[in-house]
Amino acid sequence: MLDSLTQRLSKVVKTITGQARITESNTQEMLREVRIALLEADVAIPVVRDLIKRIKEKALGEEVVGSLTPGQALVGIVHKELTEVIGGSDTPQQRELNLATQPPAVLLLAGLQGAGKTTTAGKLGRWLVKEKKKKVLAVSTDVYRPAAIEQLKTVSAQADIDFFPSQPNEKPLDIAERALDYAKRHFYDVLIVDTAGRLAIDEQMMNEVSELEKNLHPIETLFVVDAMVGQDAINTAKAFGEKLPLTGIILTKVDGDSRGGAALSVRFVTGKPIKFIGVGEKLTGFQRFEPEAMAGRILGMGDIVSLVEDVKNAVDVQKAQKFAEKIKKGDAFDLEDFKEQIAQVKNLGSFSSLIEKLPAQFAQAAGSIDDAQANKMVSRTEGIINSMTPKERRKPEIIKASRKRRIAAGAGVSVQEVNKLLKQFEQSRDMMKMMKKGGMAKMMRAFKS
């Protein structure tokens, strides 16, 4: 995601982190690099200007010059200002989807054709069902492309939300009003209205969506924009922002090989909060927008905060504490513990999504991970350990040739695989021993060498 901007900025970050002192001249140099990186990523010129000005003011102030680690202080400033530009000053409440109205809450989606409105209608619907336990109805007012109505029907079924049928020979407003009436009578919490888009801004489309807005009184009018489009996103955002009282933005295709400019510009240009991001074509690829994490990703610092959250959610704290105690007391680390560790890894869910959150340099080293393959590996490992007797799990050294053959047959794997697992276990145990003796620092050194 946002690859080229991330790569460029991380290069700048690396250079300045290595500087012992921050002077006026190397700050200027660094700012020039940041400026080029942003412009190349198609960030709108006014946004770049504003960002550079703010970074410069802070960087030349005492915050950096007086700091013991000026390079890091400077990175901190860039991170903070970047966060600010993409929405750091919006409160979580402002970024929250507003549903506080007499039901049904009408959510109007507007944007150019291909921006991802229909897909987003499905993603948003699914999110409302799963996260908010809402009863959701979706309707398409795109009478110009019959395929669009069909597409929403399909997507709605996948999202587990209801679909209100419409005909291409009807007027968009008539369709929407019928759907709203139906939603009221059938006690829906939310009505999602998908609208027609054009390839470029066009007056008829603008008037149509504006008419829908005026008559339906949506609680949210969301501008759906493709993160892969560059400077154009600015003009589109401006046009939609002037015609419609937008309440928020949904940024789609944040997964793609986008230059990321739009991500940084739309919030600035419209003054409206980015509320969600779309990551991938699947309906599950939908997340709340977190400005700080996004700024970190752009800078190649990795989404450490959310990675830590994921780990915290998945790991059973009590078990982890018991485990830590065991290590501290010097108790032996056995295959039972190993299995426990693997089970916790499995709880973390998708491996590739975890890797994505690591800082760029680690993620690159890890390469692309095939989730299906990784899960299969975890299951096989569990299968092998399950085929062992409790005594074997506690004292793996007793596992010799005949036991290996029995375990392999039980788990339906080859003897080599049993050997491989025992080897991995030994490595893990060595690591645990090192942790006991030298603490984390020693272990990190071992990783590096």
CB of 99 to ligand GDP, least distance (A): 22
79 binds ligand GDP (CB under 6 A): no
Element (H, E) at 288: strand 286-288
Q: What is the dihedral of CA 300, 304, 310, 313, to 10 degrees?
A: -170
140 binds ligand GDP (CB under 6 A): no
Cα 90 from Cα 23, distance rounded (Å): 33
AA letter at 210: S
> Is the distance from CB of 263 to CB of 227 less than 8 angstroms?
yes
**Binds ligand GDP (CB under 6 A): choice among 253, 272, 297, 357:** 253
146 binds ligand GDP (CB under 6 A): no
197 binds ligand GDP (CB under 6 A): yes
116 binds ligand GDP (CB under 6 A): yes
94 binds ligand GDP (CB under 6 A): no
**Binds ligand GDP (CB under 6 A): choice among 47, 115, 205, 283:** 115
Residue of minimal CB distance from ligand GDP? 278
Q: Which is nearer to ligand GDP, 285 or 410 (CB)?
A: 285
Cα 170 from Cα 211, distance rounded (Å): 15
The reply to whether 197 sits in an annotated binding site is: yes
Cα 167 from Cα 147, distance rounded (Å): 11
The reply to whether 114 sits in an annotated binding site is: yes
143 binds ligand GDP (CB under 6 A): no
The reply to whether 176 sits in an annotated binding site is: no
Spell out the residues 6+ positions from residue 189 whose beta carbon is closer than 8 angstroms to its own.
99, 103, 104, 105, 128, 134, 135, 136
257 binds ligand GDP (CB under 6 A): no
Q: Distance of alpha carbon 288 from its chain centroid, rounded?
A: 8
AA letter at 373: Q
Element (H, E) at 98: none
Q: Which is nearer to ligand GDP, 51 or 97 (CB)?
A: 97
Q: Would you state the structure tokens that stand for residue 240, as one six-digit string?
A: 């939609």
> Is the distance from CB of 266 to CB of 233 less than 8 angstroms?
yes
Q: Which stretch binds ligand GDP (CB under 6 A): 68-76, 112-120, 352-360, 411-419?
A: 112-120
* Contacting ligand GDP within 273-292 (CB under 6 A): 278-281, 285
The contact set with ligand GDP (CB under 6 A) reads: 111, 113-119, 197, 252-253, 255-256, 278-281, 285
As annotated, the binding site for GTP includes 111-118, 194-198, 252-255
